[in-house]
Amino acid sequence: MKNQYETIQTEIIKIETLSSINKLFTLQIKDEEVRNKFKFRHGQFFILSVPGFGEAPFGFCSSPTIKETFQVSVDKRGSLTSKLFGLKKGTEVGIRGPYGNGFDRKKIKNRNLVLIAGGCGLSPLRTIIQDANLHPKNFQNIQIFYGCRNSELLAFKSDYKEWSKNIEMNLTVDTPDKNWKDSVGVVTNLLTPEKIKSDSVAILVGPPVMYKFVIQKLVELGLSDDDIYVSLERRMHCGIGVCQHCALVGGKYVCTDGPLFSYAEIKNTPEGI
């Protein structure tokens, strides 16, 4: 019987500093045969581990169409992520996965796509953003609405110029500096009838406090509950439905049935949002 907790040895082949608290790691599976079989879908995640420091779930943040490597964005928050921040290129780490139900591309193809992120929530959406930027004809319109505490903490700033070729970028910060030229305030301020079409599909990833207000706004703008998707990734722990940390009322698990759920699926689930 296969050990569900067995890790895959993976090498850090590149590290990029995105902000004072965030780094982008490019990883490559050591075993070529395993690497060639490794596949993931939008919305899936994996468990990353460092011996002696534990393990934690992380969302993929690069396109699934890139086969040789994959990327993960890490915020420095605790003992594991602090250890990751101190690692060097060439260091080996363990992963297991991919986990989660993933996201069916058919749900967004030929639709208006609205991606809404807060803080580090832009990271798991980057898998969709990269593909949307490469294949804009698969959508009627593509929009990003992204809010952060300040401009220094905005993720993937070096990507914005490339994304803007095919994607409408809408940025806002809570505390602007003297050079900030975009919006100021919470991300819901960006969601207006002039911006959002009622037949859009929206995907939300960010801090839990954001969801209630953004969903309320999207419903007011005419989006159906079936066309609003939220990530409950924060609830995951073991990744395989064993530990019960991410169990939802009704028998679903965030790690195996999600982490992306339509609002229709969880709107009546206590503590779902």
> Are 8-99 and 105-266 equal in CATH topology?
no
Q: Which CATH fold topology does 8-99 show?
A: Elongation Factor Tu (Ef-tu); domain 3 (2.40.30)
Assigned fold of 105-266 = Rossmann fold (3.40.50)
The domain spans of the chain are 8-99, 105-266
Digitized pLDDT (tens) for each residue of the chain, 273 residues in all:
577 778 899 999 999 998 888 899 999 999 999 999 999 988 899 999 998 888 899 999 998 888 899 999 998 888 899 999 999 999 999 999 899 887 777 788 888 999 999 988 899 999 999 888 888 888 888 999 999 999 888 999 999 999 999 999 999 999 988 889 999 999 999 999 999 988 899 999 998 889 999 999 999 999 999 999 998 876 677 877 788 787 876 778 888 887 888 999 888 876 667
Residue type, 241: G
Identify the bridge partners of residue 28 per DSSP, sorted by sequence position: 11
Residue 269 contacts by C-beta under 8 Å, 6 or more apart in sequence? 248, 249, 250
Model-level pTM greater than 0.85?
Answer: yes
State the Cα–Cα distance between residues 92 and 204, nearest whole angstrom: 32
Residue 226: DSSP 8-state: G
**Strand intervals (E) in the chain:** 8-19, 22-29, 45-50, 54-59, 70-75, 92-99, 112-118, 141-148, 168-173, 183-184, 200-205, 228-231, 260-262
* Coil vs helix vs strand at 129: helix
